[in-house]
Amino acid sequence: MTKEQIASAYKALQAEICAGLEKLDGKATFSSDHWDRTEGGGGLTRVIKEGDLLEKGGVAFSAVHGPVSPAMKSQLNLEGESFFATGISIVLHPHNPHVPIIHMNVRYFELDNGTYWFGGGIDLTPHYVIPAQAKLFHQRLKTICDKYDADFYAKHKPWADTYFHIPHRNESRGIGGIFFDHLSENNTKLTKEQLFAYCSELASSFVSIYAEQAELGRTKHIEPHHLAWRNLRRGRYVEFNLVHDRGTKFGLFSGGRTESILMSLPPMANWEYQYEAKEGSEEAETLKVLGKNWDWVN
Amino acid sequence: MTKEQIASAYKALQAEICAGLEKLDGKATFSSDHWDRTEGGGGLTRVIKEGDLLEKGGVAFSAVHGPVSPAMKSQLNLEGESFFATGISIVLHPHNPHVPIIHMNVRYFELDNGTYWFGGGIDLTPHYVIPAQAKLFHQRLKTICDKYDADFYAKHKPWADTYFHIPHRNESRGIGGIFFDHLSENNTKLTKEQLFAYCSELASSFVSIYAEQAELGRTKHIEPHHLAWRNLRRGRYVEFNLVHDRGTKFGLFSGGRTESILMSLPPMANWEYQYEAKEGSEEAETLKVLGKNWDWVN
């Protein structure tokens, strides 16, 4: 399985995901923005906005290569002279506060010395956490994980809990999901082909997983306090991405394409000093859940 | 001049500034939030919102002390066992896009080994840059600088240009101002008392400097495209503060009081993928100015 085959498969998955999301949205369509990277490779950033379901969303594909820069050496500890990286990255911000924000990423990295690894994950950020829906989401992910390795969910779910944590708020970004990095035949029971299949299945399942969550909330009644809360939670999403997310920080500091890196940022985010949810309110219930990591599937 | 005297003067300046801003706003008043720091000291965070002029603003005072933590040692290169720090920090976000966002900070730091220094600065972030107003702002700052050292403006203005730069956007945050750090009798021609007077005069001049800028824009007609642009510029402000601002990052990673650190974040910020200002528009003119550093006073 060559890097070209992986990149080509990811590019096809991007197209499939965008088509699926357009169907789900029912109103807006994705724009397409091809870009080249001076040092080698490029990408296709696809963005949707002002849809029926989605206020703003991006599905980015890239396949880049070139010399390992000093920034990459120091921040990623890479032992090699040149690299190849390809992946899909998605963030969707829905209008309706009763529909969750979602993020998915699959990526493949290879060095000229033959080292390679897969990384990725899916995580869900409901503005309002509904335990039954959170359970459904985690069950879907566990079902996929279990097809590849009975230990994957048990390993990749806590990895997401750790990764998607906002230390300065002592909150999780949402209800987590799965996250993994640096997987190869050397540290898993799987072959390279099987690891690729795991990532591909996450990507190809993405639309149906999100559709299920979206349909449960998209027609729910919206009151002003729901919108105000949605905007505050979007603010937290910005805080996580700009302060803590390793991919975002590495991208910005290593001269990546800013517009593609920051397509994850929401429309209309808000910050309010010392916001306090009313005791017993829906907002307070969600904050309670975000204060610790849960075992959703049992 | 003791650290207690400096802290006490800064606290009085905070009260004076808040009173001045309330008068300028004419509608809203500041809330007061006292807090204590477990390791020593505390602060008073004052916030105004939904005013006539100001949509959201914060004027924070703190005076904290305690052991130099490992994070402080590694990030600030401190050679001492315990520290004392006091300062005032202000960020104001006006409603009207024709009024600039403004930031001011004065701070004093002292170690148990006797080392001390002053830092601070004022910078202006107009949503729409008007050269005559930018010149006025810089002239005010230069006038203050010149009273203390004929070289201060020439040194502290480029310091702000360097500091308030957003590398991943290749833009300056606004039209800059002045910025300085680690000033003491050892690296300036001034005594400790004179350095304190310089910082105090910046703080006590803050309201009149901002009032002048605000009065020039607060009654200007607002169209929807002005608001849309204001929200995008607020997004840039968030990017600078969360990705680059050393004070914010240090505060968040060293366990500072999150709500006080992030009171600088705006209400209703927006991110739009690949926003492009129309050739010749007011927005395009502002972007041109933000692309490089200007000599405003000559």
Which of A238, A253, A267 lies closest to B238 in CB terms? A238
Q: What is the pLDDT of residue A4?
A: 97
DSSP string, B210-262: HHHHHHTTTTS---HHHHHHHHHHHHHHHHIIIII-HHHHHHHHTT--HHHHG
Inter-chain residue contact B274 with A58, CB threshold 8 Å = no
Query: Right CATH number for B3-290 from 3.40.718.10, 3.40.50.300, 3.40.50.1820, 3.40.1500.10?
Result: 3.40.1500.10
Helix (H, G, I), strand (E, B), or coil: what is residue B267? coil
Contact B80/B67 with Cβ under 8 angstroms? no
- Give contacts of A253 with chain B, Cβ < 8 Å: 168
Q: What is the pLDDT of residues B1-33, one digit of tens each?
A: 999 999 999 999 999 999 999 999 999 999 999
Q: What are the backbone angles phi and psi of residue B240, rounded to the nearest 5°?
A: -60, -50
In B259-298, the residues whose Cβ lies within 8 Å of chain A are: 259, 261-263, 265-274
Q: What is the pLDDT of residue A74?
A: 78
How far is Cα A265 from Cα A237, in angstroms, rounded to an integer? 8
Q: What is the pLDDT of residue B76?
A: 75
Tens of pLDDT along chain A (298 residues) come to: 999 999 999 999 999 999 999 999 999 999 999 999 988 999 999 999 999 999 999 999 999 999 988 877 877 777 889 999 999 999 999 999 999 999 999 999 999 988 999 999 999 999 999 999 999 999 999 999 999 999 999 999 999 999 999 999 999 999 999 999 999 999 999 999 999 999 999 999 999 999 999 999 999 999 999 999 999 999 999 999 999 998 898 888 888 899 999 999 999 999 999 999 999 999 999 999 998 788 999 8
Buried-exposed string A192-223: b where 16+ CB fall within 10 A, e elsewhere = beebbbbbbebbbbbbebbbebbebbbeeeee
Contact B231/A268 with Cβ under 8 angstroms? yes
Please report which confidence band the pLDDT of residue B171 belongs to, taking 50, 70 and 90 as the band edges.
very high
Q: What is the pLDDT of residue B69?
A: 84
- Give contacts of B270 with chain A, Cβ < 8 Å: 267-269
The answer on pLDDT for B191 being more than 90 is yes
What mean pLDDT comes out for the span B89-117?
A: 96
Contacts with B247 (C-beta within 8 Å, 6 or more apart), sequence order:
B89, B105, B261
How far is Cα B62 from Cα B89, in angstroms, rounded to an integer? 9
What mean pLDDT comes out for the span B261-290?
A: 95
How far is Cα A204 from Cα A138, in angstroms, rounded to an integer? 16
Pairing mode of beta strands A101-111, A116-125: antiparallel
Sign of CA dihedral B214, B216, B221, B226: negative
The answer on pLDDT for B75 being more than 80 is no
Tell me, yes or no, if B227 comes closer than 8 A to chain A by beta carbon.
no
Q: What is the pLDDT of residue A162?
A: 95
Q: What is the pLDDT of residue A31?
A: 97
What mean pLDDT comes out for the span B244-267?
A: 91
In A7-66, the residues whose Cβ lies within 8 Å of chain B are: 33, 45, 47, 49, 56, 58
Distance from CA of A167 to the nearest CA of B (A): 8
Tell me, yes or no, if B235 comes closer than 8 A to chain A by beta carbon.
yes
Nearest to A44 by CA among A28, A27, A57, A61: A61
Inter-chain residue contact A243 with B263, CB threshold 8 Å = no
- Give contacts of A49 with chain B, Cβ < 8 Å: 272-273
Give this prediction's pTM: 0.95
Please report which confidence band the pLDDT of residue B96 belongs to, taking 50, 70 and 90 as the band edges.
very high
What mean pLDDT comes out for the span B243-254?
A: 88
Inter-chain residue contact A58 with B266, CB threshold 8 Å = no
What mean pLDDT comes out for the span B169-193?
A: 97
Inter-chain residue contact A273 with B235, CB threshold 8 Å = no
Hey, which residues of A are catalytic here?
103
How far is Cα B277 from Cα B255, in angstroms, rounded to an integer? 39
How far is Cα A270 from Cα A247, in angstroms, rounded to an integer? 23
Q: What are the backbone angles phi and psi of residue A10, rounded to the nearest 5°?
A: -65, -35
- Give contacts of A92 with chain B, Cβ < 8 Å: none
Sign of CA dihedral B212, B213, B214, B219: positive
What mean pLDDT comes out for the span B241-266?
A: 91
Q: Please give the helix or strand (H or E) that residue A64 lies within, else none.
A: strand A54-67
How far is Cα B76 from Cα B61, in angstroms, rounded to an integer? 21
Distance from CA of A66 to the nearest CA of B (A): 20
- Give contacts of A269 with chain B, Cβ < 8 Å: 238, 268-271
Q: What is the pLDDT of residue A17?
A: 98
Q: Which runs of E-coded beta strand occur in chain B?
A: 31-36, 41-49, 54-67, 82-94, 101-111, 116-125, 165-166, 171-172, 176-183
